[in-house]
Structure 1
Amino acid sequence: MDSKGPSLYAPAGTSVDMSRSLDEDSLVDGPLISADALHSAIRREFQTLPTPCYASLLSVLHAVYVVLSVCVAVLCVLKLGQEEVCVSILGNVRNDSVIVFGKVCLWVLVLLFTRCVQHHHSQARSRGYLRFYRQMQGLKYLPLTVHSAGNVLLLVVLAAQLSQTVHIYMLLIILGLELLVSVPCLLHYTVKVMQFNRERAAPDVSQEEYSHNFSITSVPTETGFREGSSLEEVVDKQADLIEYLKQHNTLLSKRLLNLTAQH
């Protein structure tokens, strides 16, 4: 009985080996996709952010508004120029009201700019640029914060019922402070985003994988919990990473199918 045991199970082992060899042969005979082709396909996925153009345009509009407000205040409100020209242009509208209405319109533009920036940054976050998204998290909201604070100061000045001269000088001081703080923030944001667009870096996951493959002592990633880190922040980062990996795997599957069909 013991001598017959191996012979009974020998055909089954042979069939398993033959099926494995056939499967391996079918995989080997299939079209091979080079790493360079796949890497080049992934690199083409990078999309630049158009927000630097919007930030530059907003900076120019802000500067133009402040210059026009100073001209209106000096020539029309303080009456140090040609009053007839102001009346012909502004009509029966109060001169300081024109400056306030312009301030409201400028705040609306800043709000739209912030929403647009948030939209494009969220798309960059979904493409795997989590580090860039978090670095720009505070900077992209700073202009809106500055203009909102300026609106609060403007309401305080209007409610104080100061004399016309003091009132207009306080208004110009507020507008000047906004310009000195908001425009440098927009310029700094523009430089950071233009640098990001120029580098055309791979997503964070690809960069970490590259550093792990070619460095002995690699820098630890931020996806795990470590001492001194907030649990809520870690969970948020992991959720972002999982969402990106799902989209990345779907995109890679499409790329593989396209490249396989081409070969």
Structure 2
Amino acid sequence: MESGGAIYTQAGSSVDMTRSEEDSLVDGPLISADALHAAIRREFHSVPTSCHAILLSVLHVAYVVLSVCVAVLCVLKLGQEEACASILGSVRGDSAVVFGKAALWVLVLVFTRCAQYHHSRARNRGYLRFYRSTSTLKQLPLAVHSAGNVMLLVVMAARLPVDVHTYVLIGVLALELLVALPCLIYYTVKVMIFNTKRAAPDVSQEEHSHNFNVASLPTETGFREGSCLEEVVEKQADLIEYLKQHNSLLSRRLLNLTAQH
């Protein structure tokens, strides 16, 4: 009986210790949801690729204008042979256009890699909808310029007459500009809107909308009939990765705010 009483005494003491720890946590300073959301909102990181897209657009327009001038004045030789020789030296006019096209393609490749890096960071921070809405858009300029390079190689290898060769070359460059430039402008607008809104991550937005709308439909985290299974699995993986980082951030913020109170 004495041993049984000791066991009950130890169990009661352990329960009391657990309750005292829980009471100390409950009686501690409460942190408002507004303060926590404000602390998280300060962690917003903008995507800096809009400036890069604007600079690339300006360079593309400048390249096309200079290429048209070189093609008309130096390839067609409209009385400007001396000026072309003094500027280009021993380089032919069409060769200068091709060299410029290769340099522009390298810049587009660097921009695409840079955009992919910053967009992947935004995805890891929980902005999945923004990442998906721009995943194809940021790849389009590189695809357009690569297709333009192929067309340019075909024109160079066709051995057309000089006049026809020059006009086809100008047409290829103009078509490439008309397709790539709107893509860059639209991409720039989407990134600037994203940076201006400074919205919370997708998970926080879904939780916020669910709290204010009880009758709202559940989010598309799980599998639904008619939905793409691969897309759902990918989205769930992104959400898990984000929630790991989100929990770590919440832990640090809770400790800091508790220490301040």
* Structure 2 unaligned blocks of 5 or more: none
* Structure 1 unaligned blocks of 5 or more: 1-6
Structure 2 residue identity aligned to 1:69: S
CA distance in 1, matches of 2:198, 2:133: 16
Please name the residue that 1:46 is paired with. 44
CA distance in 2, matches of 1:77, 1:155: 17
Distance 1:173 1:23, change over 3 A: same
Report deviation, 1:236. Answer: 0.9
Report deviation, 1:164. Answer: 1.3
- 1:201 and 2:199 correspond: yes
CA distance in 1, matches of 2:217, 2:199: 18
User: Per-residue displacement from partner, 1:17-56 (whole Å, max 9, x unpaired)?
Assistant: 6435422332234333222221110010111111111111
Normalising by structure 1, report the TM-score.
0.92
Q: Give the alignment partner of residue 143 of structure 2, picking from 127, 142, 145.
A: 145
Please name the residue that 1:87 is paired with. 85
CA contact (8 A) 1:74 1:81 kept: no
Structure 2 residue identity aligned to 1:142: L
User: Per-residue displacement from partner, 1:198-234 (whole Å, max 9, x unpaired)?
Assistant: 1111100001111111102223322211122222211
Counterpart mapping for 1:106-145 below 5 A: 106-145=104-143
Report deviation, 1:171. Answer: 0.6
CA distance in 2, matches of 1:69, 1:52: 26
CA distance in 1, matches of 2:53, 2:223: 36
Please name the residue that 1:261 is paired with. 259
- 1:97 and 2:95 correspond: yes
Report deviation, 1:163. Answer: 1.1
Please name the residue that 2:24 is paired with. 26
Please name the residue that 1:72 is paired with. 70
Normalising by structure 2, report the TM-score.
0.93
Q: Which of 30-39 and 203-212 deviates more?
A: 30-39
Please name the residue that 2:54 is paired with. 56
Q: Give the alignment partner of residue 247 of structure 1, picking from 242, 245, 248.
A: 245
Q: Which of 78-87 and 60-69 deviates more?
A: 78-87
Distance 1:23 1:156, change over 3 A: same
- Amino-acid identity (%): 72
Count of residue pairs the alignment pairs up: 259
Please name the residue that 1:3 is paired with. none
CA contact (8 A) 1:139 1:185 kept: yes
CA distance in 2, matches of 1:249, 1:100: 52
